[in-house]
């Protein structure tokens, strides 16, 4: 089943996504079973109470090579603030006066059960399901302190996520899922989760050895090669086979912040 | 989600903000992997599994030979704070408290220190939020088993409270209940199992924790 959260008539609402969604755009309220058309909602992050957001750097061998890095011997994990999250078909902004902002299409594993010191063979028991995120980076802001630093990776709106959370069992094997990114309809990134260096069971074991994982925590597993600069007006679609296609509109910093700009 | 009644959203900590440490490290900053001193505040998150309270026992990290502690003045954000100037920054503060950051020994600052900084219960946050007219005038004093190990005037920080709130608010919108630990002593104090750690800001608040066995 696919679980989403939307704004409908001014209120947050938990919904499921109907099997006919691709043709009908229908969502079903978890409160009263009412069918709602996608056209009448604003998509929110599908994770109601986001916990710790872990993200992986350089976790696809081809992407590491693209950035001229040796593949890491140990996972490069960084944390993101929940302020970065926004929903499907929402705006993300390009900061003023920068040279290079790129998307990163990533499979996200969402934790469903609390655990510490979880063994690799038990790891999948702790996963609720999956979603897609676009973990944007602004390369101009990189500094060699806690790199990738928060200024690069914890900006408002720069981690769109969704459209929905799909139950783990509905996806099945995640070890060879196709990932693509299209910018304004043009294919710009293509890869497969088969190229992941540290896979989800490894990461659950690794992280839970350090700290307790809790429901709502999420692990964004990194991105394959295929970087491209983004500009206001661009539409980016990050898609992962069997999981979903996440659409994001790039706007200027001024448009995004409006009166607060 | 929170194991602490004060912090509700995020706990942002500022590293390398003690000017004594910052100045002493200039030669190291020039070398690889840093290749230049930081031009921006060096920030890290203590995630929600780390949050705990005044009086709590802090878990000893599995298999760790040594741990260290630093204390910081902590800003508790009182209302949504987005892209504010330095001059208006303090208007967004509900008050101040203390944060202890227990961690493994800080070895380097090149990559995010998940292993060292994200230990369960390693970020106790004080029990009270106190209004203060001039946070720059405060001093944080930390003792381990009754012996003073660090004395850090906020005025000694490279970047002060208002500047940090402003800078961070341009990166991420801060919400009521977000907390910023503005700076720790460069020399973190070593601690052992069973140690009692006390930090005080005279006339404002204090924070007490014990290391687990």
Average pLDDT of adjacent 10-residue blocks, chain B of 213 residues? 85 98 97 97 98 97 96 98 98 98 95 97 97 97 98 98 98 98 97 98 98 94
d(CA A62, CA A108): 19
pLDDT, tens digit (0-9, with 9 covering 90-100), for A32-50: 999 999 999 999 999 999 9
| B18: containing domain | 11-211
Distance from the Cα of B202 to chain A's closest Cα (Å) equals: 32
Let me know if residue B200 belongs to a domain.
Answer: yes
pLDDT, tens digit (0-9, with 9 covering 90-100), for A48-107: 999 999 999 999 988 777 777 777 789 999 999 999 999 999 999 999 999 999 999 999
Element (DSSP H or E) covering residue A64: helix A61-66
In chain A, the residue whose alpha carbon lies closest to the alpha carbon of B50 is: A211
Let me know if residue B137 belongs to a domain.
Answer: yes
Distance from the Cα of B171 to chain A's closest Cα (Å) equals: 5
DSSP type of residue A49? S
Q: For residues B86 and B163, is the Cβ–Cβ distance under 8 A?
A: yes
Q: Is A77 helix (H, G, I), strand (E, B) or coil?
A: strand
Asked if A212 has any chain B CB less than 8 Å from its own CB, the reply is yes
Among candidates A207, A216, A260 on the partner chain, residue whose Cβ is nearest the Cβ of B82? A260
Domain extents for chain A? Answer: 1-44, 47-260
Work out the number of other CB atoms within 10 angstroms of the CB of residue B42. Answer: 20
Provide the number of structural domains found in chain B: 1
Let me know if residue B75 belongs to a domain.
Answer: yes
DSSP letters for B32-87: TTT-S--SS-EEEE--GGGEEETTPEEPPPTT-S-EEEEEEEEEEE-S-B-S--TT
Q: Do A150 and B109 touch (CB under 8 A)?
A: no
Fold classification of A47-260 is Fumarylacetoacetate hydrolase; domain 2 (3.90.850)
Let me know if residue B6 belongs to a domain.
Answer: no
pLDDT, tens digit (0-9, with 9 covering 90-100), for A97-137: 999 999 999 999 999 999 999 999 999 999 999 999 999 99
d(CA B7, CA A81): 14
Q: For residues B189 and B142, is the Cβ–Cβ distance under 8 A?
A: yes
Give the CATH number, domain containing residue B193.
Answer: 3.90.850.10
Residue A196, pLDDT above cutoff 60? yes
pLDDT at A63: 75
| Strand-pair category, B67-77 with B189-191 | antiparallel
Distance from the Cα of B97 to chain A's closest Cα (Å) equals: 21
Mean pLDDT computed over every residue of chain A: 96
Q: Which residues pair with A183 in a beta bridge?
A: A186, A236
Let me know if residue B1 belongs to a domain.
Answer: no
Q: Do A146 and B114 touch (CB under 8 A)?
A: no
d(CA B97, CA A190): 48
Structure tokens at B210: 């014990």
Mean pLDDT of A162-181: 98
Burial of B202 (0-12, 13-18, 19+ CB in 10 A): exposed
Asked if A137 has any chain B CB less than 8 Å from its own CB, the reply is no
Asked if A56 has any chain B CB less than 8 Å from its own CB, the reply is no
Fold classification of A1-44 is SH3 type barrels. (2.30.30)
Let me know if residue B182 belongs to a domain.
Answer: yes
């Amino acid at each position: 089943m696919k679980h989403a959260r939307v704004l409908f008539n001014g209120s947050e609402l938990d919904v499921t996504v109907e099997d006919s969604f691709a043709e009908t755009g229908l969502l079903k309220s978890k409160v009263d079973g009412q069918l709602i058309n996608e056209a009448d909602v604003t998509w929110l992050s599908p994770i109601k109470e986001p916990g710790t957001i872990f993200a992986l750097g350089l976790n696809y061998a081809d992407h590491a090579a693209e950035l001229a890095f040796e593949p890491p011997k140990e996972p490069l994990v960084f944390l993101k603030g929940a302020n970065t999250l926004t929903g499907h078909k929402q705006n993300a902004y390009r900061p003023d006066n920068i040279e290079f902002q790129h998307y990163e299409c990533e499979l996200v594993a969402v934790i469903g059960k609390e655990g510490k010191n979880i063994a690799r063979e038990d790891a999948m028991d702790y996963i609720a399901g999956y979603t897609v995120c676009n973990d944007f980076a602004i390369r101009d802001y990189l500094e060699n302190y806690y790199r990738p630093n928060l200024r690069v990776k914890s900006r408002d709106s720069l981690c769109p996520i969704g459209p929905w959370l799909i139950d783990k069992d509905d996806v099945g094997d995640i070890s060879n899922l196709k990932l693509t990114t299209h910018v304004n309809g043009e294919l710009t990134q293509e890869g497969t989760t088969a190229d992941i260096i540290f896979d989800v069971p490894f990461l659950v074991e690794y992280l839970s050895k350090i700290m307790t994982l809790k429901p709502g925590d999420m692990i964004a597993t990194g991105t394959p090669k295929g970087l491209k600069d983004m500009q206001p007006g661009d539409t980016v679609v990050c898609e992962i086979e069997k999981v979903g296609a996440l659409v994001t509109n790039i706007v200027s910093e001024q448009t995004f912040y409006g009166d607060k700009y | 989600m929170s194991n602490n009644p004060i912090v509700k959203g995020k706990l942002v900590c500022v590293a390398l903000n003690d000017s004594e440490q910052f100045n002493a490290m200039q030669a190291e900053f020039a070398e690889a992997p840093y290749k230049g001193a930081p031009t921006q505040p060096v920030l890290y998150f203590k995630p929600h599994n780390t949050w705990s309270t005044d009086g709590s026992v802090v878990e000893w990290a599995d298999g760790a030979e040594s741990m260290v502690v630093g204390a910081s003045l902590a800003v508790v954000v009182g209302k949504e704070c987005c892209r504010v100037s330095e001059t208006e920054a303090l208007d967004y503060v509900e008050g101040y408290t203390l944060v202890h950051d227990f961690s493994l020994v800080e070895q380097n600052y090149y990559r995010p220190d998940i292993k060292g900084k994200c230990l369960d219960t390693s970020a106790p946050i004080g029990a009270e939020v106190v209004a203060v007219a001039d946070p720059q005038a405060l001093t944080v004093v930390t003792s381990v088993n009754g012996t003073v190990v660090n004395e850090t005037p906020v005025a000694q920080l490279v970047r002060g409270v208002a500047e940090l709130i402003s800078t961070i608010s341009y990166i991420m919108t801060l919400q009521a209940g977000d907390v910023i630990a503005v700076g720790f002593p460069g020399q973190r104090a070593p601690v052992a199992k069973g140690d009692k750690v006390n930090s005080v800001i005279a006339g404002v608040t204090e924070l007490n924790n014990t290391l687990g066995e």
